[in-house]
Structure 1
Amino acid sequence: MASDYYITADNVFEYSRGNSLFDGLNEDQIKTLFSISREITLGKGSYLMHEGDPAREIFLIIEGELEISRYNAKHNQNHVIATLKAGDTVGEVALLDRGSRSASACAVSFCRLRSVSFDDLQDIADKDKSIYSIFYHMSRNIGERLRHSNDVALQAMEKQLDEFKTRVTLGNFFVYIVIMLSLFTFSLDGLKYIMTAGKNSSYITLPLTLAFFVFFIFFIKTSNFPLSTFGLTLANWKKAVREGIVFTIPFAAVIVAVKWVLISSVPHYMGRPLIEGLTAMNADPKTWWMFLVIYILVIAPLQELLSRGGLQGPLEEFLSSKYKVPLAILVSNLLFSTLHLFMSLEIGLLVFIPGVYFGWLYSRTHNLLGVWIAHALVGTVGLSIVGF
């Protein structure tokens, strides 16, 4: 929005006293400069100049902001290199070297400027040598902007290096997933044989989890991400533990309620007790407790390390969508539940549903401790007590 303040011959000296560009010039000299200038206004989004245009004028911003950008032909896009505000000059590089415009200038908001042609400025400088001080001040301003440009260039190079490291890690991640899925596919016949032999699923999940864990360790060692990316951190551990317990109690209650509904309406479940305990794992008490301890202390934390730390965490880093967290949760759980389909479609769905809950829980703290507790609770209730 335009202001009501205008620069005139009567107030131009008062205005210029706050600008280092006019240091050393008296009131008459300032008024002389003002007399050869003209006012220009730009609406938001309008261009003052384009890169490569012939250069004939220098501009002083009175009001508003201008965005200075360079065009990158390789990527067909403009890169903003600076934002200039009221009191800054625009186009002084061409005044010093008499070349074409080295960058484009676009109004970020309504802008009011004063322009002076190079020839007119040179004429009055030839008549009054003290006017040449403006050239000195412009050179100093250019030097300051050059320092800023160096900082911007360094930040851009650091960003490119980070992006390159991320691409390398993404490649390693892809290889890790392909190898994992390939080995799993080759082992399907053996896994199905174990299932048909009537063995407890822990005989399968434990060695599979350990095998995938080895690949995951290699991925961590070759990645450029900090351990916190994989949920291996103490940050937010109190919140993670609290939510892992408090939020999972209602979830476990839902599991019991679903079992009750199945007993009441599905023939396959009719006649089965609500709480099956040892019967759920078809094992004697000693074996039941052994598998339960292994599940809580080994299988649950390792599976969370793989699914949340090894899949969801890196996916959140690789994805750039504003929905990257839900997408990471969905993709990681689709992949993880797919690895359980050789048991049955039912098992795959039973893994996917709580997996989505674990993914949401993990996204709140990015700490594996909470989902380890939640996984152990849900698994114990769902598999060893309720006995789906």
Structure 2
Amino acid sequence: MCHTSGVSSERAAHLLRLSALFQAAPAADVQALAELARLRTLRRGDVLFHQGDAATHLYVVESGWLKVSKLAAHGQREVVLHLSGPRQMVSGVSVFVDNARYSASAAALEDAGVLTLSAEAVRHQTAQSPALAQAVIAHFAKRHVELLERFDDLLFSDLNARLARLLLEHAPPGTTLLLPTNSELAAHLNTVPELVSRKLGEFYRQGFISLERRTVRIVDEAALRSLGGP
């Protein structure tokens, strides 16, 4: 069950400075936001927010992994939009729109800690600081390009490349990743669970990854990068 508690401004500021949205922001603006931050802890399976909920907070992952997904028409199919891990932001765009609602849901794939900031506080601080506003615009412009690249990836690359890139992004060498279910991975990779299972098995047998239960670690980074392309 989700639990929210206080967090030191130093700890919060450190995490905010590591996140993509606030990396280029003035230190004073980051500190002002850090003093308003709270820490939410989640257990595996806990829902951070549901699709359609009022977008009241911006979240930055401190530890663990979250799945951000959307229900397709009539709620018959779940589409995994992306996985968010340490230092990554969740629900960023929504908080900058008055009376917005979350366009997707977010749930913990494993125990996680998430820094929370009031959407109202973020909007107020951004409106007061041209430098922060510029940093926010630059970040979302970059995210727009990344989303277009992901669209191209889903349309034109094969499953080997898509899975290799996902592993390189979310389980960089020296770290491990607790995988979501094959159904969730399949939705994210635009394929079917049976093919995801087969490809993970192939990567394991070829020595590209180690796989214990649902925890994966990259063993041969060069091989995956070769599969993933430029």
Q: Which residue of 2 aligns with 1:36?
A: 36
Q: 1:80 to 1:152 in 2, by over 3 A?
A: farther
For structure 2, the 5+ residue unaligned runs are 1-5, 160-193, 195-230
Structure 1 position 114 matched with structure 2 position 142: no
Within 5 A, what are the aligned runs for 1:1-388?
Answer: 8-73=8-73, 76-98=76-98, 99-151=100-152, 153-154=154-155
1:148–1:106 Cα change, 3 Å: farther
Separation in 2, partners of 1:100, 1:9: 28
Aligned residues of 1:81 and 1:152 also touching (Cα < 8 A):
no
CA contact (8 A) 1:20 1:137 kept: no
Which residue does the alignment assign to 1:198?
Answer: none
Query: Alpha carbons of 1:88 and 1:144: their partners in 2 closer, same or farther (altered >3 Å)?
Result: farther
**Counterpart amino acid of 1:140?**
A
Deviations 1:145-180 (A, max 9, x none): 422541464269x89xxxxxxxxxxxxxxxxxxxxx
Question: What is the CA–CA distance in structure 1 between the aligned matches of 2:29 and 2:155, rounded to whole Å?
Answer: 41
CA distance in 1, matches of 2:138, 2:8: 23
**Poorly superposed stretches of 4+, deviation over 6 Å:** none
Rg bigger for which structure? 1
State the SS of the aligned residue for 1:81. strand
Contact 2:7 2:39 in 1 (8 A): no
CA RMSD of aligned residues (A): 2.9
Deviation at 1:61, TM superposition (A): 0.9
| TM-score normalised according to structure 2 size | 0.57
User: What is the DSSP-based 3-state SS (H/G/I as helix, E as strand, rest coil) of the residue aligned with 2:101?
Assistant: coil
Structure 1 unpaired stretches of 5+: 1-5, 160-319, 321-388
- For 1:56, give the aligned amino acid: T
Task: Quote the offset at 1:46 in angstroms.
Answer: 0.9
User: What count of residue pairs does the alignment treat as equivalent?
Assistant: 154
AA in 1 matched with 2:85: K
C-alpha separation in 1, matches of 2:8 and 2:82: 29
Answer 1 or 2: which has greater helix percent. Answer: 1
TM-score between both structures, scaled by the size of structure 1: 0.35
- Give the secondary structure class of the aligned counterpart of 2:87: coil
**Structure 1 position 38, deviation (Å):** 1.5
Whether the 8 Å CA contact 2:96–2:119 is kept in 1: the answer is no
* Greater strand content: 2
1:37 partner amino acid: A
What does residue 292 of structure 1 align with?
none
Pairwise CA distance, 1:54: 1.5
Larger relative contact order (CA 8 Å, sep ≥ 6): 2
